[in-house]
Amino acid sequence: MSEQNLRLEEMDSFFNLRAKEYDAHMKETINSFEEYYNLVAEPINYTEEPIEILDLGCGTGLEISAIFNKAPNAKITCIDLSEEMLKILQDKYTSCRKQLNIIKASYLNYSFEKNKYQYILGIMTMHHFLYQDKLELYKKIKSSLREDGKYIEGDYVVTPYHEKKWLKQREDMLNELGEDKLKLYHIDIPFSIKTQRRLFKEAGFNEFNLVFKQGEHYIYWVK
Ligand SMILES: C[S@@+](CC[C@H](N)C(=O)[O-])C[C@H]1O[C@@H](n2cnc3c(N)ncnc32)[C@H](O)[C@@H]1O
């Protein structure tokens, strides 16, 4: 990950401003871009049933076509804070618009229905939050999954050394610039795989499976 820009930007406006260039930026950032966005759907068992899927921080919908390849009749609830990212997603998926339930909200305080989803995905969106916020969210995800459901995450994973470094950088940044506790800022706080696994365990997930690992780009799923 590149060094952070020392300017605090609120999460929604950060992505609103960058929405148009977002897909091109990701193609440049992830070496195996096509493979990566295909593999996020690898843990999904092929089905033509209208299963329920929740995509947290769906952005412009880079992961949606791979999901439809595995579950063509799925109903996908897509949640994102950024209106501009969601507009691009809607323009891309006009032919299957009826299968998408698009919600502009923060998944941190949105309440998910219990035991509803067969799969929940969080792709490239969870590296913005601290341990406690992630733990609360993972517990919510766990209770919203069906008994045999899976949570699939794709994200940046760093070494324990870099985890400490990013956390310290975040603290310094917020101390220096002042933080409004009510606002959600775009700050990168990627964790190590050890911390991620501990979080999942604490949230009640007992099985961890690694799907992809290339540099800092990982895909894994838990149940
Ligand atoms: C790096 S993009 C990833 C988008 C997409 N999943 C992908 O892999 O291309 C992160 C997305 O997460 C969204 N996001 C961040 N925090 C969020 C929150 N608390 N609630 C909803 N969306 C959030 C951002 O608006 C942004 O669209």
Domains delineated in the chain:
11-222 (3.40.50.150)
* Ligand 1 atom closest to Cα of residue 108: 19
Q: Are 55 and 112 in contact (CB under 8 A)?
A: no
Residue 89 CA, ligand 1 centroid: distance in Å: 12
- Lookup: tokens for 105: 């909200």
For residue 170, the SS3 value is helix
Residue among 80, 107, 134 whose CB has most ligand 1 atoms within 8 A, to mutate? 80
Cβ within 8 Å of residue 94, ≥6 positions away: none
64 lines ligand 1 (CB under 6 A): no
Q: Are 159 and 42 in contact (CB under 8 A)?
A: no
**Residue 80 φ/ψ, nearest 5 degrees:** -155, 150
Q: Are 130 and 190 in contact (CB under 8 A)?
A: no
Residue closest by Cα to atom 27 of ligand 1: 59
> Residue 173, class by beta-carbon neighbours within 10 Å (0-12 exposed, 13-18 middle, 19+ buried)?
middle
Q: Are 163 and 192 in contact (CB under 8 A)?
A: yes
- For residue 154, the cross-strand partners are 123, 219
Alpha helix locations (H) across the chain?
A: 11-29, 33-39, 64-70, 83-92, 131-144, 160-177, 193-202
153 lines ligand 1 (CB under 6 A): no
For residue 150, the SS3 value is strand
Helices and strands of the chain, counted as H and E runs: 7, 7
Say what the pLDDT of residue 169 is.
85
Specify the DSSP element, H or E, that contains 210. Answer: strand 208-214
- Lookup: tokens for 186: 């775009």
> Which DSSP state fits 190?
-
Residue 164 CA, ligand 1 centroid: distance in Å: 23
125 lines ligand 1 (CB under 6 A): yes
Q: Extract the residue ranges of the chain whose pLDDT is less than 50.
A: none
